[in-house]
A = this chain, B = another copy of it.
Amino acid sequence: MNLILLQPDDFRDEGLAVLSDGRARHIRKVLRAEPGKTLRIGLLNGPLGTGTVLAIDQHEVFLQCVVEKKIPPKPRIDLLLAMPRPKVMKRLWAQLAALGVGRIVLVNADKVEKFYFDTHVLEPDFYNARLIEGLQQARCTHLPKVLVRKRFKPFVEDELDGLSAGHVKLLADPTGEKRISDFKFDGKRVLLGIGPEGGWTAYELGVLQERGFELFNMGRRILRVDTACVAAISAADNYLRTPAQV
């Protein structure tokens, strides 16, 4: 935890946050903070700042908080991901938040097993906790927006265009002749599409290409979905290039 992320509910008074959960335990046991110590804090979807420990006991930590004027820029990468096995998705949430993804769309695909969607891993309480864990690791405040769509076709036909207007849309597929480094981003947002294990079907590839996706390959290695996500986001991020945006 490299940042204590605070939400409106944590504030008892102007600038005074009172914590009693895992964050309080972390401040007490890992950071071994005493009154007067200054900690890095951030407001969810808001600015970074510092919190000075006013008082600390077995139950509560009182933090006097000051935040920066500027809110860090939002992540510029969004992800369209065919729903992976719940076990894999469970591991991914925190990593995606840490890498800086603005929106995560989990969508059905032909090679996604139906039961993948019947999991506690897709419950907002579960994934928000994991996403916040990732933000606190990476020292960021922007909580990724999550969209779960159990039907591929209506999502693509009715929602995709709206969600991806103005994005460079790139789809990972072994048949892609370009690599991520071959595309020009020109300051645009990027929507990365990652298929299921076993890949997108020809129909899915066709429909997504009609909606403006261009194919890229990640080399001839076949990566596990979680490795592929981290690898693709990282490669794209390296090209977005503007240090202020990472």
Contacts and interface: CB of A to CB of B under 8 A. Distances in A.
Given A181-B241, A219-B237, A220-B246, 15 more contacts: A98-B221, A98-B222, A98-B223, A137-B222, A138-B221, A139-B221, A179-B238, A180-B238, A181-B181, A181-B238, A181-B239, A217-B243, A230-B231, A231-B234, A238-B238
A211 interface: no
A235 B233 CA distance: 9
Contacts of A120: none
A98 B219 CA distance: 11
B246 A99 contact: no
Most central of A95, A98, A179, A231 by chain B CB within 10 Å: A231
B139 A222 contact: yes
Most central of A2, A137, A234, A243 by chain B CB within 10 Å: A234
Interface in A92-126: 94-95, 98-100
Nearest to A233: B231
A138 B223 contact: yes
- Indicate how many identical chains form the complex: 2
Interface residues of A, number: 34
A237 B218 CA distance: 9
Contacts of A99: 221, 223, 227, 231
A100 B140 CA distance: 30
A231 to B, nearest CB: 3
B223 A137 contact: yes
